[in-house]
Amino acid sequence: MLANNSYLITAARVVVTMDDDRRELPDQDVRIANGVIAEIGPNLDPQGAEVIRAEGCVVTPGLVNTHHHLYQTLTRAVPGGQDALLFGWLKTLYPIWSRFGPEEMHVSALVGLAELALSGCTLTSDHLYLYPNGARLDDTIAAAGQIGMRFHPTRGAMSIGESDGGLPPDMLVEKEADILEDAIRLIDLHHDAAEGSMVRVGVAPCSPFSVSRDLMREAALLARDKSVMLHTHLAENDEDIAYSLATFGCRPGQYAEELGWVGEDVWHAHCVKLDPTEIDLFARTKTGVAHCPCSNCRLGSGIAPVRAMRDAGVPVGLGVDGSASNDAGNLILEARQAMLLQRVAQGADAMSAREALEIATRGGAEILGRHDCGQIAVGKRADLALWDVSGIEAAGSWDPVALLLAGPTTVRDLFVEGRQIVRDGQVTTLDLRAVMARQNALARALAE
Ligand SMILES: [Zn+2]
């Protein structure tokens, strides 16, 4: 149904392909049909397709967000958590999150997904690890279907509450058998492994400090049995490393390896504190990393060794992380932050604008196992972002492809699976004003 949309994007100032040769093609057209990129070249025949004029626009692959907690858009800038480190921040927010239900999950996901779409994102993962008051992962999957975004939701979980020495309150943890059973239900109901898939479900215990060793191992076995991916938080900050050493007697990388949590079908969020041995492990096993620079800055977690990871061959993508630890959800700005943060650590030549854009597009698609996405090439899925570089942000720029140095922070148009979900800076698939009004009402009710 989505697949019948066909468009001809004409006379783009530059098409940044992110293909195998990383070609940048000036003055090109891109024809999309049946959900895929059908043709790239100058002066193409529309063949009946709707023409989208793109003079003054840079066309890039849609950006890919590899780590998020969409529900947290309802708890942005909560006063008690604004200036806390990770564990203190979590303890401030857990009691608020425990009051969420299905509507909070659904509306906050709509807001988070719309914010991502406006910032150029066409494919996002999400990590939902608490299910109070009847909330389900299905609530967020419905939201992604409404907006039309390609979605990789993960069935997160917490099972060790405060009374067992864990961080979360007991009311937010679940029985491990129930967690695995629900993961099976969700995979069987929603997961689509086919090329062009709009929904792929992953298995994602929240973190080593909120579930048992058994659940980590069982989750890995389940994911392999079902051929789905695995995701969690790892080595986020010094407290996280100290917890691992004190509780498991080893560093997070060793813990992950022992439990089957390395490989091409695994990606870990943050990895700020990976040491050289762990970077080597990730590179050898092609284990992915979701780098979340704004969250790492916001929570004071540190600077992830992304330069060393990339040089070693670790697959790296970008994540905005939850909106409560960012507190924004703008993916193109996240890419800029990734570029800047490596420069803080390593100098001005540590990461170019082009490399950061590559991590944000092709890099993210690769760590999510989406070799059908993340580049503009004939036969790849038609996930495209159009950036208008004729505005004030890029006025005077000598290099339109260096969007992350001087360029817009929202898209003009966005296509997912060949469907236009942003047009002239507006989401076409939602009444966003009404969604935001509901979101603000829900936030006010939670604050009472
Ligand atoms: Zn996170």
Alpha-carbon gap, residue 367 to 358, rounded angstroms: 12
What is the rounded average pLDDT of the residues 51-80? 97
Alpha-carbon gap, residue 275 to 417, rounded angstroms: 39
pLDDT digits (tens, 9 = 90+) for 109-141: 999 999 999 999 999 999 999 999 999 999 999
What is the distance in A from the centroid of ligand 1 to the CA of 117? Answer: 19
Stated pTM of the model: 0.97
Element (H, E) at 12: strand 6-16
pLDDT digits (tens, 9 = 90+) for 304-322: 999 999 999 999 999 999 9
Q: Residue 165 region, left (φ>0) first, then alpha (ψ -120 to 50), else beta?
A: left
pLDDT digits (tens, 9 = 90+) for 326-385: 899 999 999 999 999 999 999 999 999 999 999 999 999 999 999 999 999 999 999 999
What is the distance in A from the centroid of ligand 1 to the CA of 157? Answer: 12
Alpha-carbon gap, residue 117 to 71, rounded angstroms: 16
By mean pLDDT, which of 155-159, 163-167, 443-447 is the weakest?
163-167
Alpha-carbon gap, residue 368 to 231, rounded angstroms: 10
Element (H, E) at 37: strand 36-41
What is the distance in A from the centroid of ligand 1 to the CA of 233? Answer: 6
Q: Please state, rounded to an integer, the average pLDDT across all residues of the chain.
A: 96
What is the distance in A from the centroid of ligand 1 to the CA of 127? Answer: 7
What is the distance in A from the centroid of ligand 1 to the CA of 329? Answer: 12
Alpha-carbon gap, residue 2 to 419, rounded angstroms: 6
What is the distance in A from the centroid of ligand 1 to the CA of 69? Answer: 6
Alpha-carbon gap, residue 76 to 114, rounded angstroms: 16
**Residue 398 one-letter amino acid:** W
CA–centroid distance for 101 within its chain:
23
Q: What is the pLDDT of residue 86?
A: 85
* Percent of the chain residues topping a pLDDT of 70: 99
Q: What is the pLDDT of residue 3?
A: 40
By mean pLDDT, which of 46-55, 78-87, 227-236 is the weakest?
78-87
- Report whether pLDDT(4) > 80: no
**Residue 175 one-letter amino acid:** K
- Report whether pLDDT(182) > 80: yes
- β-strands 121-128, 150-157 pairing: parallel
- Report whether pLDDT(2) > 80: no
What is the distance in A from the centroid of ligand 1 to the CA of 15? Answer: 32
By mean pLDDT, which of 2-6, 364-368, 421-425 is the weakest?
2-6
- The residues that bridge with 381 in the sheet, in sequence order, are 36
- β-strands 63-65, 202-205 pairing: unpaired
Which among 354, 255, 353, 253 is positioned nearest to 309, based on CA atoms? 253
Whether 12 contacts 54, CB under 8 Å: yes
What is the rounded average pLDDT of the residues 143-169? 95
**Residue in the structure block whose two tokens are 């092709």:** 362
What is the rounded average pLDDT of the residues 84-113? 95
Q: What is the pLDDT of residue 177?
A: 97
- Report whether pLDDT(10) > 60: yes
Alpha-carbon gap, residue 223 to 47, rounded angstroms: 43
* Percent of the chain residues topping a pLDDT of 90: 95
Q: What is the pLDDT of residue 288?
A: 98
Q: How many CB atoms lie within 10 A of CB 436?
A: 15
pLDDT digits (tens, 9 = 90+) for 15-29: 999 999 999 999 999
